[in-house]
Chains A and B, each alone.
Chain A
C-alpha cells in the first residue's frame, strides 16, 4: 500500500464550486505539505503543517484553505474554484532527521490529483 495517498486522483469541476482534495499518510510523519505543479513553473508550496495545531501559508495560498484533521490527514480546499486553479496537486510528508551532514528533510509525495476547473 502507498505511504501517501490522495483522493480523488482526477476531478473536473466548474467555476465557483467548492472542492476538497484529501491526503492521508501512513508514514507517521508530523509534517505535511500541499503543492501545485503547473507546466514550466515546477512545484509551488500552497500550505504546510508541522503538526496538527500548526498551519502555515506557503508562497501561493490565496484562494486555498487547509485542514489538518489528524496527524495522518491534511485536506486542501478551494472555496470557489476558478480556471487558473487548474493544475496538478501534490501532497507530501516529511520527518526531518539530523545527520552528520546536516538536516535531512526529504519529502515523500503522493501520486497527485489532476484538477480541471472549467
Chain B
C-alpha cells in the first residue's frame, strides 16, 4: 500500500521555466512533509519541508504548497536551472513518529 505517491515518473522542463512536481498521500495522520533531491551516485539531500499548520513554504527558488483537504503537495522550482536535473522524492511523517514514508520519485530533466 503506497501511502505517498508520485504519479509522474519523469518530467522535462525548459530552462528558465517553472517545474512543478506533485505528490499525493493517503494517510490523513501525516502532518510533516519533505522534499529530497537525489543526484546519481549520491544520497538524497534535503531540499525543503512543510508542516501541516502551513499551506506554503518558500526557500529561494523552491516553494512547497500543501493542500490538506486534497491530500496533495507540490514543489515549484522557479526558474528551473540545469543543475536542478535530478530525482525528487516526496516524504511524509506523523508528528512524534520520526519515520519517513517516501514516494517513488520523479526524475526531473531541465532542457537547456
Residue of A31, A44, A58, A107 touching B46 (CB-CB under 8 A) = A107
Interface centre among A48, A92, A94, A109 (most CB of B within 10 A): A109
Q: How far is the CA of A68 from the CA of B7 in the complex (A)?
A: 36
List 18 other contacts, CB 8 Å, given A107-B46, A107-B100.
A31-B98, A41-B104, A43-B44, A48-B98, A48-B99, A92-B43, A94-B98, A101-B51, A101-B54, A102-B32, A102-B51, A102-B53, A104-B32, A105-B100, A106-B46, A109-B36, A111-B43, A112-B41
A-B contact pairs, 11 of them (CB 8 A): A4-B43, A42-B4, A42-B89, A42-B104, A45-B100, A58-B99, A96-B98, A101-B51, A102-B95, A107-B46, A112-B42
A103 at the interface (CB under 8 A from B): yes
Q: Which interface class (under 10, 10 to 19, 20 to 34, 35 or more) fits A? A: 20 to 34
Q: Is the CB of A105 within 8 A of B93?
A: yes
Looking at the assembled complex, report how far the CB atom of B78 sits from the nearest CB atom of chain A, in whole angstroms. Answer: 22
